[in-house]
Amino acid sequence: MQVFKFGGASIKNAIAVKNIAAIIKLFPKEKLVIVVSAMGKTTNALEEILSTFLNGKNPELLISNLYENHLSIVNNLFPEPELVIQKLTSEFKKLEESLLLCSKAKYDASYDSVISRGEFISSMIIESFLIQEGFLAKKYDAPLWIKTDSNFRDATINWPLTEAKINKGVQEGFKENNLLITQGFIGSDNKDNITTLGREGSDFTAAIIASSLHTNSVTIWKDVPGILNADPKKIQDAILYHELSYREAAEMTYYGASVIHPKTIKPLANKNIPLLVKSFQDPTKSGTIIHECKVAHHIPCIIIKEKQCLITFQVTDFTFISESNLSDIFSAIDRLHIKINMMQNSAISFSICVNDDWYKLEKLISGLEDKFDILYNRELELITIKNYADDLIERLKKDRNIYLEQKTRKNFQMVVKPLEN
Ligand SMILES: Nc1ncnc2c1ncn2[C@@H]1O[C@H](COP(=O)(O)OP(=O)(O)O)[C@@H](O)[C@H]1O
Ligand SMILES: N[C@@H](CC(=O)OP(=O)(O)O)C(=O)O
């Protein structure tokens, strides 16, 4: 038994969906649990629909564009599309219904109820297509399997319950099917409200299922040949890692390598389940295997994390930054579940670089502005270089304004703003 995860890029249009069926055909004897994300950039489109609605504007046009997008995929996949179009229309009805229940006061829960619709739509289309292609395939909705707390938008897994539900569901499902399809990134709390595991969390769903079932491996199919020493879309001549240890891969995701969701590695490492990252464009190539190994990589590894915000807290009198000041700042950060990506201390100020989740950052700033003078810059990048070389640092500094930098023995980090041309 194996788990496959197909992300947004691998199912972005009808040709891509046909390609995933061709990939699955390469594994005729395997029982597969298939985790799918929303198609293409659907999740971003749903975020825009929600914010338009919550800002009191009419999201009708945005919804109809998203519907047309999916309709065109359906029309290109099914010679007789009527039944699937009916299901698509009913999925969009559910989207509109959940939108009407949304409010700014319950933003996080509203977000999960609306944003999860992308995965419900894609999994419905993919189940129908795989059945049309002759596979014994059945969809199981992830909220039945993935049980979480009610920390909407970044829910924590209830592992014992989730493991039990997955094992029961999969055992039953494989009695009459070879392919079980489910949605990535979503779950439900103990009142059956939809929760999500954090943006790009479908990789994590695949790891949760593999870990619960003790599968032989997990394969995530990407639009890159595997994991490289830099994002090949940003750095030319990036080099493919054929093999990475769990530790190295986890470290890369910690610094922001967006190719794998940061929570993916731990459950797999705990059960010693290999994670394969392979290209859906070149499925017979071996890609990268992440497993327990002792390969030391000495080439620099560059990680560029976008959408960063640098916040500086300055003491308002002429005292120095104290442990008590730091304690106030950290308590507020902890309460808001904000993750610090880099921090630096000086005599009169303390700076943090964090993801630009403005909804949370506004609360952080307003909660602390009576104690500190607070400065912030948005639209920044955090660049981390593991195994840095000085000439590489200089190369990356060109065309960028440097706001903050830090060096340890192995790692170099800087917060930068790309210069406008
Ligand atoms: N070190 C890296 N190696 C490979 N790809 C990377 C790396 N860092 C970032 N990426 C980016 O990750 C993308 C694939 O991840 P993602 O967009 O989450 O895929 P999907 O949404 O289809 O699952 C690639 O297109 C690539 O631009
Ligand atoms: N659709 C969700 C979950 C996800 O993991 O997507 P992808 O696999 O395309 O990164 C998102 O975009 O955040």
| Complex ipTM value | 0.98
Indicate if 398 and 380 belong to the same structural domain.
Answer: yes
For residue 296, being part of any structural domain is answered with no
Phi, psi of 6 (to 5 degrees): -110, 115
Query: Considering all CA atoms of the chain, what is the largest pairwise distance in Å, rounded to the nearest integer?
Result: 75
State the ligand closest to the CA atom of 248.
1
Contact 288, 244 (CB under 8 A): yes
- Residues facing residue 9 across a β-bridge: none
What is the pTM for the complete model shown? 0.93
Mean pLDDT, rounded, for 351-362: 94
Indicate if 280 and 312 belong to the same structural domain.
Answer: no
Tell which of 230, 259, 291 closes a domain.
291
pLDDT band at residue 359 using 50, 70 and 90 as cut-offs: confident
Beta-carbon neighbour count of residue 84 at 10 Å?
A: 22
Q: 15 C-alpha to center of ligand 2: Å? A: 19
Indicate if 345 and 237 belong to the same structural domain.
Answer: no
Cβ of 277 closer than 6 Å to ligand 1, yes or no, is no
pLDDT at 112: 98
DSSP for 228-283, please give it. Answer: BSS-TTTSTT--B-SEEEHHHHHHHHHHT-TTS-TTSHHHHHHHT--EEEEESSST
Mean pLDDT, rounded, for 167-173: 97
Cβ of 384 closer than 6 Å to ligand 1, yes or no, is no
SS3 sequence of 155-174: CCECHHHHHHHHHHHHHHHH
Domain, as residue range, for 321:
301-418
The atom number, within ligand 1, closest to the CA of 203 reads 23
Cβ of 256 closer than 6 Å to ligand 1, yes or no, is no
Indicate if 43 and 172 belong to the same structural domain.
Answer: yes
- For 257-314, write each residue's pLDDT tens digit: 999 999 999 999 999 999 999 999 999 999 999 999 988 777 999 999 999 999 999 9
The atom number, within ligand 1, closest to the CA of 257 reads 8
State the ligand closest to the CA atom of 279.
1
Give the tokens for residue 377.
Answer: 């810059």
Q: Select from 17, 42, 43, 258 the residue to mutate for testing ligand 2; criterion: most ligand atoms less than 8 Å from CB.
A: 43
pLDDT at 321: 86
pLDDT at 298: 78
Indicate if 256 and 368 belong to the same structural domain.
Answer: no
The residue contributing the CA closest to ligand 2 atom 2 is 200
Indicate if 195 and 308 belong to the same structural domain.
Answer: no
Give the tokens for residue 176.
Answer: 């009459």
DSSP for 31-91, please give it. Answer: -EEEEE--STTHHHHHHHHHHHHHTT---HHHHHHHHHHHHHHHHHH-SS-HHHHHHHHHH
- For 82-127, write each residue's pLDDT tens digit: 999 999 999 999 999 999 999 999 999 999 999 999 999 999 999 9
Indicate if 307 and 280 belong to the same structural domain.
Answer: no
Tell which of 265, 291, 317 closes a domain.
291
- For 226-268, write each residue's pLDDT tens digit: 999 999 999 989 999 999 999 999 999 999 999 999 999 999 9
Mean pLDDT, rounded, for 57-61: 97
Tell which of 240, 257, 291 closes a domain.
291
Percent of the chain topping pLDDT 90: 93
